[in-house]
Amino acid sequence: MSSDVPKARRIVDVVLDEESVARRSPEVEHERAVALFDLLEDNDFLLVGSEGGPYKLHIGVFEQRLVFGVHDANDVKLRDIILSLTPFRKVVKDYFLICESYYAAIKKLGPSQIEALDMGRRGLHNEGSELLRERLDGKIEVDLDTARRLFTLICALHIKA
CA 36 to each of CA 12, 14, 161: distance values in angstroms, whole numbers, following the listed order: 11, 8, 25
Taking only the tens place, the pLDDT of each residue in 25-77 is 676 677 778 888 999 999 999 999 998 889 999 998 888 899 999 999 999 99
Is the pLDDT at 8 greater than 70? The verdict is yes
DSSP 8-class letter at 21: B
Taking only the tens place, the pLDDT of each residue in 87-146 is 988 888 888 787 777 777 778 877 877 887 778 788 888 999 999 999 999 999 999 999
**CA nearest 9: which of 103, 107, 143, 148?**
143
Q: Would you kindly state where each structural domain of the chain is located, as residue ranges?
A: 7-156
CA 146 to each of CA 42, 79, 85, 131, 154: distance values in angstroms, whole numbers, following the listed order: 8, 19, 19, 13, 12
pLDDT tier at 2 (50, 70, 90 boundaries)? very low
Distance CA(38)–CA(57), nearest Å, equals 15
pLDDT at 4: 57
In this predicted model, which residue has the larger pLDDT, 3 or 121? 121
pLDDT at 21: 59
pLDDT tier at 1 (50, 70, 90 boundaries)? very low
